[in-house]
Amino acid sequence: MDIKKIEDHDAAALFLSGVKTFLTLDSHIIDELSQHMHESDFASGDHLITKGTPGNHMLLIRSGSVRVELDNRNIILSKGAVVGEIALLSGKPRQANVIAETPTKTFILSRDNFQTLMTKHTQLASAMTALMKSRLDADNGFRTVGKYQILEVLGEGGMAIVYNAYDPDLDRHVAIKMLKYEIACKPDFKARFKQEAKTIARFQHPNIVHVFETIEAYATAFIVMEKLQGEDLKQHMQKHGAFDSQQTCRILQQVAKALQYTHNEKNGGIIHRDIKLANILLLQDNSIKLMDFGISSNTNTTSDSVGGTLQYLSPELLKGDPIDGRVDIYALGIVAYFMLACKPPFKITNMQSAIQHHLLETPPAIELTVPSVTPNLIEFITKAMVKNPEDRIFNYDEIIHLLSDEASINEPYDARLHLHFEQKNVKLESLIRDIEKLLHKHKIPNTVALELKEGNYWIEK
């Protein structure tokens, strides 16, 4: 193969911008790709790729056609096709011969340049995620990860794609989560993932999806887990609407027990970091399974560039402060609000609005949106969504009690609440805040009587 420098980078960039794999890339990324590529010509019958050789480059076909010789069939590819990217990603030897059917011109990108560019540009990583997904989905793709046979896509989120797969050794179906390259190509990801994956695979809790193993392949990570019949809370609400207070408590209590288990230092002290509706699976017997520990981290760590879902991010995560399990509690408060109101407490569309709402704005009172909500859920949501993690609820005995059937009983109350203060000097602002909390909690519409030692004070709403 005669490799030479590209003479006309503008023409190369124009060609790359029309390649299906790169259609989503900004022009400056396309230009940088062209600067890192070389070109080569092949005569009919020449091998572009030879089976068994190292996967140190991929090729884009500029003109001509090639034949990919697989074990049981041949595939013809032409202008705009990408070949050799799987071996490039995996670093493993080539699995097939690629032979020029006609005189063929190609662009070539080396493994080192490719890895550098993918780490630098999230858009390119996203493009490779889409390409990998198409290879796993297509009939002419490789459709295997380790010993597992990929069958179909079950779902896709911001961090991963989940596949239905078959384990031929144990004759069972499993779910396999492929972490997207946008996550997997982060510089410190692999080392951290290896360590934490071992811990997660040891989890044995009735409310946590059981992980069988993790596999590193194709320059990303695959998590093999039990396949369960059910739907996540997001899917359930799209079909059936909001949950009532009793249903919400029963689901959240199970999530809280799962988090109590993972946050315990004896079990690794693992923070989930992506608690949300889509990561809570509701089974047919109304039990739940907490899923997706793909971006989890140890407690008492510092948040990094691998985030979660903007709608659920705690203030300390957004600020890059040290974090612990309280980031999960904050997110669980948002889940609770979402389950009851069928909408999140804040309308967040981008990072700027996430910072504005999570750091600066007080969440709207859930009881103003859902008048039937029980006082214990109001208390949990209020305490879970406190901005300062030091003041946020984090005692699991208290959390689990608040979410219990016993606590969900809405006890009768008087239209006027009597608060007794031992101290004579009470700041008016603090007093008003306390009154407003009680008004919201007990849904009192107009007035409240305060019996202070100096006398009675009435505050009109």
Beta strands across the sheet bearing 148-156: 144-145, 148-156, 160-167, 172-179, 220-226, 211-217
252 plus 188 within the same structural domain: no
234 plus 364 within the same structural domain: yes
List residues bridging with 49 in a β-sheet.
98
How many domains are contained in the chain? 4
**Does 161 map to a domain?**
yes
Q: What pLDDT was estimated at residue 421? A: 32
Neighbours of 430 (CB within 10 A): 9
What is the spatial distance between Cα 124 and Cα 457, in angstroms, rounded to a whole number?
65
252 plus 398 within the same structural domain: yes
44-47 long-range Cβ contacts below 8 angstroms, 24+ apart: 44/100, 44/101, 44/102, 44/103, 45/99, 45/100, 46/1, 46/99, 46/100, 46/104, 47/97, 47/98, 47/99, 47/100
372 plus 435 within the same structural domain: no
Residue after which a domain boundary falls, among 376, 402, 428: 402
205 plus 241 within the same structural domain: no
Residue after which a domain boundary falls, among 61, 92, 112: 112
352 plus 281 within the same structural domain: yes
Q: What pLDDT was estimated at residue 407? A: 67
Q: Residue 188 in 3-state DSSP? A: coil
**Two structure tokens written together for 10:** 């503008």
**Does 438 map to a domain?**
yes
Q: What pLDDT was estimated at residue 415? A: 30
Output the DSSP codes for 15-33. HHHTSGGGTTS-HHHHHHH
What is the spatial distance between Cα 199 and Cα 203, in angstroms, rounded to a whole number?
7
Q: Characterise 20 by phi-psi region: left (phi > 0), alpha (psi -120 to 50), beta (else).
A: alpha
384 plus 276 within the same structural domain: yes
242 plus 383 within the same structural domain: yes
Q: Which range marks the domain in which residue 441 is found?
A: 414-461
CATH of the domain at 210: 3.30.200.20
Contact 251, 233 (CB under 8 A): yes
The amino acid at 171: D
Contact 200, 296 (CB under 8 A): yes
238 plus 356 within the same structural domain: yes
**Does 133 map to a domain?**
no
Strands (E), 101-188: 104-110, 144-145, 148-156, 160-167, 172-179
Q: Is the pTM of this model over 0.75?
A: no
275 plus 220 within the same structural domain: no
Active site amino acids: 274
Q: Residue 194 in 3-state DSSP? A: helix
Full pLDDT tens readout for the chain, 461 residues: 678 888 888 999 999 998 888 898 999 999 999 999 999 999 999 999 999 888 888 899 999 999 998 777 888 999 999 888 877 777 778 888 999 999 999 999 998 898 889 889 999 999 889 888 888 876 655 688 999 999 999 888 777 889 999 999 999 999 998 888 888 887 677 666 666 677 778 899 999 999 898 888 888 888 899 999 899 999 999 999 999 999 999 999 999 999 999 999 988 899 998 899 999 999 999 999 998 876 667 665 555 544 678 999 999 998 889 999 999 999 999 999 999 999 999 999 888 888 889 999 999 999 999 999 999 999 999 999 999 999 999 999 999 999 997 766 644 333 323 333 333 333 445 545 555 555 555 555 444 333 333 333 333 33
**Does 307 map to a domain?**
yes
Residue after which a domain boundary falls, among 378, 402, 426: 402
**Does 310 map to a domain?**
yes
Contact 126, 32 (CB under 8 A): no
302 plus 157 within the same structural domain: no
272 plus 388 within the same structural domain: yes
